Structure 1
Amino acid sequence: MSVDGWNTVLVLGGIRSGKSEFAESLVTDAPVVRYVATAPEGDPEDTEWATRLAAHRARRPGSWTTEETTEDPRRLADVLESAEPNEMLLVDDLGGWVTVLLDPDHQPADDVATIAELAEAIRGCAARVVLVSPEVGLSLVPTTPLGRAFTDALGAANRAVADACDAVVLVVAGQPVWLKPAATAIEQAAPATTSTATATAAVVASPADAEPTPEVQLPDVLTHTPPATPPQEAGNPWAAPTMALPMVATGLVIQPGMELPMPNEYEGPQAVDRLATLDVPGAGLGVLDRVVGFAAATQGTSIPAAWDSVRVLLLHGDHAGGASAGTVAGESARRAAQARAGQGALARLAAESGASLQVVDTPASAPIEDQPALTPDQVESALRYGWRLAEQAADAGVQLLVLGACGAGTEAAAAAVLAATAGAEPPAVLGRVITDSGEIDDAAWMIRCAAVRDALHRTRRSSRGAKDILAELGGGDVAVATGVLLGATARRVPVLLDGPVGLAAGMVSRDLAGQARHWCLLADHGRHPAVRLAADVLGLTPLLDLRLDLGEGANALVALPLLRSVLALSAGLPAHPSLDGGDDTDPGADEPESTDPSYADPDLTEPDFVEPDSTEPDFVEPEPAGPGPASTRADEQPASGWRAG
């Protein structure tokens, strides 16, 4: 279920607002769902109403069971009271229930008492319940007594049920707005104005109310900040919060089809066109003009600045089973500890680039060939955790995120995600296994291929939704990376990808928010087949072809100084003098004034003006003796002595 930590949720919405579809999306993860139908069949002659009911029935999966409560309105309370703790109930909707309640066949009846009984049943229900109800409080007061009775009874029922439920959401034009509890109104904090030390401390100590569920402990540790990092002001001018997103007390509700911001579609092309006007001796920046266009679009200016504040997120999480074949036990933990201590290739490159390095521990993943890598609750927690990491970086003034990973079995998990999302064959996207001595381990590679093959066979009938792929195949590191991409997109922070984990997260993020890939930049594919395929699908053209293999994150940091230099050059160079107002100036304006008394400026004197002391005769333009320059007479020669042509 997408709303973790709640037993009862009330979904309100107007006519055709999408409330039923949203409520159904909340229970898609439940293995067993009891659909409680409350609407009466209606007039047999009303074909339009029958069509609506048929559409509702057609949307329900075959695994759901349906229970009718149209005969007696009190039966709904009995169904809720008898529900078991492991069940999931979807009640759709209370408008039909109130219609039955007001039916003359059930009168006289105490409507108030029946509504109170329903509220008490919801409070004492052991199962998880999602209730749908029309919101009629925003419409005009009906003109008929029966219409007023219906709206009054439904309004009373909605108030009583909302008070009894743990959470309430209003769906407007398909967009959910969470109304309850009060803690859901979590402020989208503006960029902090504290010092660098305060901003760093905020990253080191995670807020208590944002901790993930106890089942998944995801510590947030800023592990290494190079001393050479120049002081940065907290907050990005182009990374302020962009929108109010549905929140619950346990965190953000991340769901498919989120509308996140896009880069500026006008500034990028303008910045690239501006490059042609710069005072450069050569032909220009070549393919690196894409860096300028990308930075301009993500910063919202045609003269983008070089990224001064950069943070590297190194995701550490192992995958069990055949996915990790050929790796040395404890090697990934050693790499993570090395980065925390400020040692190793990644930490040294981060120090050289003045970038901060944050090692993030992600949930360990189960063997995908035998069982899901994560539980649905772990996926939700990992997504929110990655989102929070991106938000903390934006609030601390980070202008660019570099995403890397170190963990046993990460390449096989990424290959499985690509196979599920892009239809690729596992052997085609699974890189060769290289031992510590530099040898190719074909036996380990075949074990990894078999693990991915078995995982795909195991999930052949499973849903291919984003969260399902993360739970079944992706694992903790890919789930956290996906959350980072989504959170960075929401805060307009670009991400420099490096390696199969980041690209696999980009593939998964398409179903959650298609805008995320437009905030990603790929420096080098490193000859990795999974990276090359995912980049092709996502439309990310690698900027370089260095074929580096220093580990995820390190390859990007090698290219970072070059990318910064390109941005600094494009922002600092002036326009070519020939394009800098040359046509609007007087060519002789800078020439010294003549001291010759015979000199006369033809622009300031009349043709017959003569200096008083001048002994030179007046110069008079002779009148043409013939038809002028257009003459075709053969004996005519240019006056200057140069031959024409």
Structure 2
Amino acid sequence: MSVDGWHTILVLGGIRSGKSEFAESLVADAPTVRYVATAADADPGDAEWAARLAAHRDRRPGGWTTEETATDPRRLADVISSAGPNETLLVDDLGGWVTVLLDPAHQPADDVATIAELAAAVRDSAARIVLVSPEVGLSLVPTTPLGRAFTDALGAANRAVADACDAVALVIAGQPVWLKPAAGPRATGVPTQAAPSTRANGTTAEPETPLPDVLTPTVPASTGGKAGGDGTAWAAPTMALPMVATGLVIQPGMELPMPDEYAGPQAIDRLASLDVPGAGLGVLERVVGFAAATQGTATPRAWGSVRVLLLHGDHEGGAAAGTVPGESSRRARQARAGRGALARLAAESGASLQVVDAPSAAPIEEGPAVSPAAVESALRHGWRLAEEAADAGVELLVLGACGAGTEAAAAAVLAATAGAEPPAVLGRVVTANGEIDDAAWMVRCAAVRDALHRTRRSPRDAKDVLAELGGGDIAVATGVLLGATARRVPVLLDGPVGLAAGMVSRDLAGQARHWCLLADHGGHPAVRLAADVLGLNPLLDLRLDLGEGANALAALPLLRSVLALAAALPVHPRLGGGEEEPDFTEPEPAGPGPATTEPDFTEPEPAGPGPASTGPDFPEPDFTEPEPAGPGPTSTGPEPERDPSGWRAG
């Protein structure tokens, strides 16, 4: 190639920026080039587009070969994967490829999986590859759902391919700017380690210690991919660049995506026009608004693919007072084996269940719960969990925990971040026999109080709070929230651990709380306080206490039903719905009878005995007095006149 040291290059640029000419110059010295055209054939009536395609063809040297992939978008990954080390490929461009990918003729299709396959093919290819793609991140947000679907899909493809390429160039007004410089080859699947960073207290963060991989779902989901509740594919993918794999340092002030600010209010307005016999969905309208904002559409679908992340990490010392030793490990084993309340509810909901082991936390009243290096590792591990869920097509994450002492650790985090008193946020300790253990509760309060006193002069930033008080499970939960926010995956919170993670995530990325939904507070004081601070109003007040994660799954069928109903109901006919209401419709007779039920005139039958016939022998009388409804005089003659003075007023 013209640029030494590069193996794969992505060339970005706006319309008429010169990106294609620059990409062609990069392969000008290659002996042979295979030009991969991704756009569909021009419309016979669109002369301008046909002229553009012809100009592209005329620029290609005679020694180049052309290959078309417009008939099947997935074929592009196969072409790249099958290319040999001596070949040079020029793919122009990914915008046309995404257009064909979103074409209704190719639906239903898993757009996220197809983009991931393309990125993997680019990363693993032995050939030299230059890919051209339009840059859509600098334009305005499209006003139509189709336009937003295109920009989302193309942006996701650009980010994924940019991560897979060795170099990225942006062409503006014909001038290339290198966004991603040359680097040595890196092993596939091994994330680049970030350089040690200096913390606020002057110490240097230690290198990351990898956490064990436990992503082995034990309860398969009944619906997979990006399918909605009705089995159809989502309009826009949620895939984004796996930022953890690029060595991104998780730090305060990160700019992550926000839900669609217009789709939520539009969905609420639409609910008021639906053809329902009652007043509507009540407080559950918030579910529709939340789903609409996170899906970017005014008619959101019910979540199809759901994944439960059960975090298992114990806390030693006074935080775990009153718990049975080994009980949390038994719960984790039970969930892995598909038994217990959480696994059964997951199976009923068609949700996959993953148990995630977090590092154990030391007694917080004596010293830090975990090291700063363990916090960094746990945050990144949680981010990876969210990314792997997004790559698998998960549309909703449910966050739960089952460790010993998690409630006290969450209370310590809330006390440090919200200024609450430990007794106000610590729930009562209930033994296995259902009895309240006040002595254990006082030990937990003392442990949290001593931990807060020990750290009274320590920094209160997110990572310090996690290291000193939170522990590994809350750090992993925080990473899950951040990763899910980056990948636009909503999270259903349940229990103190998830809410404590939401409090910590505010300092790292304030957008995370907008992707969280709280089904029920469960009667827990820590959940109530954190929900109030985060602005997460619980949808229900069932006071369920089935364990973290199980409460949310118990409410999930109701939430799905609300979304399915809101999406399926038509607009009321009086407000412009498709059903026309006639002015008047004559009801059909209940039984057999004549075709018409409105004769010209029918003489009613007499109520009592009378002549059998009204024919010529018995002429019809001019007037027939009807029989009285009840007892009365035998005569139906005219009423005798009375003195007006004898009538009473009224």
Equivalent in 523, 539, 543 of residue 547 of structure 1: 543
- 2:330 aligned residue: 334
Question: How far apart are the structure 1 equivalents of 2:185 and 2:541?
Answer: 47
Counterpart contact for 2:211–2:378, Cα < 8 Å: no
Question: How far apart are the structure 2 equivalents of 1:464 and 1:354?
Answer: 40
Aligned pairs for 1:360-509 within 5 A? 360-509=356-505
- 1:232 aligned residue: 225
* Partner AA of 1:360 in structure 2: V
| Structure 2 residue 235 is the aligned partner of structure 1 residue 253 | no
Question: How far apart are the structure 2 equivalents of 1:383 and 1:376?
Answer: 11
Q: Once the 2 structures are TM-superposed, how far is the Cα of residue 582 of structure 1 from its aligned partner?
A: 8.4
Equivalent in 282, 298, 319 of residue 278 of structure 2: 282
Aligned-residue Cα RMSD (Å) equals 3.0
C-alpha distance 297-432 of structure 1, shift in aligned 2 (>3 A): same
Q: Once the 2 structures are TM-superposed, how far is the Cα of residue 253 of structure 1 from its aligned partner?
A: 1.0
Equivalent in 212, 220, 241 of residue 214 of structure 2: 220
Moved more, 251-260 or 350-359: 251-260
* Partner AA of 2:238 in structure 1: A
When normalised by structure 1's length, the TM-score is 0.58
| Structure 2 residue 345 is the aligned partner of structure 1 residue 349 | yes
Counterpart contact for 1:181–1:248, Cα < 8 Å: no
Question: How far apart are the structure 2 equivalents of 1:524 and 1:586?
Answer: 45
| Structure 2 residue 534 is the aligned partner of structure 1 residue 538 | yes
* Partner AA of 1:547 in structure 2: R
Deviations 1:465-514 (A, max 9, x none): 00000000000000000000000000000000000000000000000000
Aligned pairs for 1:182-197 within 5 A? 182=183
Counterpart contact for 1:216–1:363, Cα < 8 Å: no
Question: How far apart are the structure 1 equivalents of 2:506 and 2:335?
Answer: 31
Question: How far apart are the structure 2 equivalents of 1:222 and 1:582?
Answer: 47
When normalised by structure 2's length, the TM-score is 0.57
- 1:608 aligned residue: none
* Partner AA of 1:217 in structure 2: L
- 1:516 aligned residue: 512
Structure 2 residue matching 1:462: 3-state secondary structure: coil
* Partner AA of 2:475 in structure 1: A
Q: Which runs of 5+ in 2 are unaligned?
A: 1-177, 195-206, 228-232, 587-650
Question: How far apart are the structure 1 equivalents of 2:581 and 2:340?
Answer: 58
List 4+ stretches of structure 1 deviating above 6 A: 177-181, 183-187, 210-214, 582-590
Question: How far apart are the structure 2 equivalents of 1:555 and 1:266?
Answer: 30
Counterpart contact for 1:178–1:184, Cα < 8 Å: no
Deviations 1:147-171 (A, max 9, x none): xxxxxxxxxxxxxxxxxxxxxxxxx
* Partner AA of 2:375 in structure 1: V
Give the % identical residues: 75
Q: Once the 2 structures are TM-superposed, how far is the Cα of residue 578 of structure 1 from its aligned partner?
A: 1.1
C-alpha distance 328-216 of structure 1, shift in aligned 2 (>3 A): farther
Aligned pairs for 1:14-413 within 5 A? 182=183, 207=189, 209=191, 215-226=209-220, 229-233=222-226, 238-242=236-240, 245=243, 251-413=247-409
Counterpart contact for 2:506–2:512, Cα < 8 Å: yes
Q: Once the 2 structures are TM-superposed, how far is the Cα of residue 583 of structure 1 from its aligned partner?
A: 12
Question: How far apart are the structure 2 equivalents of 1:505 and 1:442?
Answer: 27
C-alpha distance 467-183 of structure 1, shift in aligned 2 (>3 A): farther
Deviations 1:430-487 (A, max 9, x none): 0000000000001110110011001001100000000000000000000000000000
Counterpart contact for 2:319–2:405, Cα < 8 Å: yes
Question: How far apart are the structure 1 equivalents of 2:394 and 2:242?
Answer: 21
Structure 2 residue matching 1:294: 3-state secondary structure: helix
Question: How far apart are the structure 2 equivalents of 1:442 and 1:485?
Answer: 34
Counterpart contact for 1:218–1:363, Cα < 8 Å: no
* Partner AA of 2:316 in structure 1: A
Q: Once the 2 structures are TM-superposed, how far is the Cα of residue 215 of structure 1 from its aligned partner?
A: 3.9
Deviations 1:163-214 (A, max 9, x none): xxxxxxxxxxxxxx99688379999xxxxxxxxxxxxxxxxxxx55589977
Question: How far apart are the structure 2 equivalents of 1:469 and 1:178?
Answer: 35
Number of residue pairs aligned between Structure 1 and Structure 2: 394
Q: Once the 2 structures are TM-superposed, how far is the Cα of residue 221 of structure 1 from its aligned partner?
A: 2.4
Counterpart contact for 2:315–2:361, Cα < 8 Å: yes
Question: How far apart are the structure 2 equivalents of 1:264 and 1:183?
Answer: 39
Question: How far apart are the structure 1 equivalents of 2:210 and 2:344?
Answer: 31
Counterpart contact for 1:218–1:361, Cα < 8 Å: yes
Question: How far apart are the structure 1 equivalents of 2:377 and 2:368?
Answer: 16
Question: How far apart are the structure 2 equivalents of 1:276 and 1:286?
Answer: 11
Q: Once the 2 structures are TM-superposed, how far is the Cα of residue 252 of structure 1 from its aligned partner?
A: 3.1
Structure 2 residue matching 1:567: 3-state secondary structure: helix
Q: Which runs of 5+ in 1 are unaligned?
A: 1-176, 188-206, 591-645
Q: Once the 2 structures are TM-superposed, how far is the Cα of residue 220 of structure 1 from its aligned partner?
A: 2.6
Question: How far apart are the structure 1 equivalents of 2:528 and 2:331?
Answer: 25
Question: How far apart are the structure 2 equivalents of 1:588 and 1:184?
Answer: 77
Question: How far apart are the structure 1 equivalents of 2:441 and 2:500?
Answer: 19
Deviations 1:285-326 (A, max 9, x none): 000000000000000000000000000000000001110000
Counterpart contact for 2:319–2:448, Cα < 8 Å: yes
Question: How far apart are the structure 1 equivalents of 2:493 and 2:527?
Answer: 10
* Partner AA of 1:230 in structure 2: T
